[in-house]
Structure 1
Amino acid sequence: MYVLLTGRPGIGKTTVFMRVLSRLKEKGVRIAGFMCPEVREGRARVGFKIVDIRTGKWAWLALRSDKAVEMGKSGSLRIGRYIVIEDEALSVGLGALEGLREVDVLAIDELGPMELSIEALRRRISEAISEVGRGILVVHRSFRDQLLWSAIKKHGYRLYQVTLNNRDSLPSVIAEMLLSSLSG
């Protein structure tokens, strides 16, 4: 069973995600996946990292085009004002999704346009969803990817819209739901 989190930018999806992972880790749950936090310089967002949840290894997922030039990074995909750094992101993303036989919960933050623009990563995410069978996935509010929806639906899912009213209570609700799916 998969728990999907969505909501407007800045509402607390990543905070809910991290709190769920913390509760699961306290119970000895084995988690794999990745997250893609934004990177800021001062008040300006300059890009996004992709971070392997198990190892902490990271690379650039995307950089603002001027920052990419400044850092000597390149990529052929462009999402808005960001250039996707495909090779680096693919290396960390695929690494985060290896060795899933011993994993209880798949955790990805987020399934959005940048992550899904890298076709090999998109296909591996679909396979990982099928392999693990349960997890927590943060999805972009315009998430419509048919390949991934098909994999998710096979295992059942619960979609939560994160709001100011529920963001504090969701971590315990979701952690309990995932723990129950492990013991049932």
Structure 2
Amino acid sequence: MKRIWLLTGRPGIGKTTAIFRIVDALRGRNVSVGGVISLEIREGNVRVGFKLIDVRTGREGILAHVNFSIGPQVGKYRVNLEDLRSIAAQSILDAINSSSVIVCDEIGPMELYSREFREAVLKAIESGKIFIGTIHYRVRDKLVDYVKSLNETMVIELTFSNRDEVPKAIVNQVLSMLEL
């Protein structure tokens, strides 16, 4: 049975929604879940950035924003390496010690600029814990390729036809692995 799930798919297909559904369902069964989720920041109908949320504590930070003037540039956004370290990477490291399941949304071009984030993801993968992440559909990176190549990893492409069933299937497999 797989213990690492990586969800991929086109932008807007529902990867983050799937992670939220998985987290909510597992918490409903008293499973401890930790890690990080990223959400869009919108002003009106315009996306202006992304925020990071520590799943366990609710602590928030900014991943990237159009108004930032420093940090690596990805498209129209500048990446906030400090919050990637102090919130995203730290929440993953904390989850290794405190949670049965680690979630990471997203492993993408912005996040991969952070050495600490990359190290935290690798430690989470190597921890033996259940890991559920999302990967950018076009990301090409040694870390992502390594995780995808592991026998314990299942990569699932979310589509309009499977995006409601995939979270349920993952939750059922996780509960079975945890014998709940």
Report matched runs for 1:41-52 at 5 Å: 41-52=43-54
Bigger share in helix = 1
Query: Take 1:7 and 1:20, find their aligned partners in 2: how far apart are those partners?
Result: 17
- After superposition, the C-alpha distances for 1:22-55 in whole angstroms (9 at most, x for unaligned) are 1111111111110111100001111011110001
Task: Find the counterpart in structure 2 of residue 127 from structure 1.
Answer: 123
Match of 1:104 among 100, 106, 124: 100
Maintained 8 Å contact 2:93/2:123: no
Match of 2:165 among 164, 169, 172: 169
- Inter-partner Cα distance in structure 1 for 2:168 and 2:133: 16
Task: Tell me the residue number matched to 1:76.
Answer: 71
- Is the CA contact 2:92–2:104 (under 8 Å) kept in the aligned structure 1? no
Q: Moved runs in structure 1, 4+ residues, more than 3 A?
A: 151-155
Stretch moving more, 153-162 or 25-34: 153-162
Q: Counterpart amino acid of 2:60?
A: W
Matched, 1:20 2:22: yes
User: Match for 1:94 among 77, 89, 92?
Assistant: 89
Task: Rate the CA distance shift 1:57–1:102 in 2: closer, same or farther, 3 A.
Answer: closer
1:181, distance to aligned residue in structure 2 (A):
2.1
Match of 2:153 among 151, 157, 175: 157
The change in CA–CA distance for 1:149 and 1:180 in structure 2 (over 3 A counts) is farther
Unaligned 5+ segments in structure 1 are 69-73
Matches within 5 A, 1:23-34: 23-34=25-36
Count of residue pairs the alignment pairs up = 177
1:71 matched residue in structure 2 = none
RMSD: 1.8
Task: Give distance in 2, aligned partners of 1:168 and 1:98.
Answer: 29
Q: Which residues of structure 2 form unaligned runs of 5+? A: none
Greater mean alpha carbon deviation, residues 45-54 or residues 155-164: 155-164
* Residue type of the alignment partner of 1:101: N
Partner of 2:13: 11
Q: Secondary structure at the match of 1:36?
A: strand
User: 1:61 is aligned with what amino acid?
Assistant: L
Q: Which amino acid aligns with 1:173?
A: A
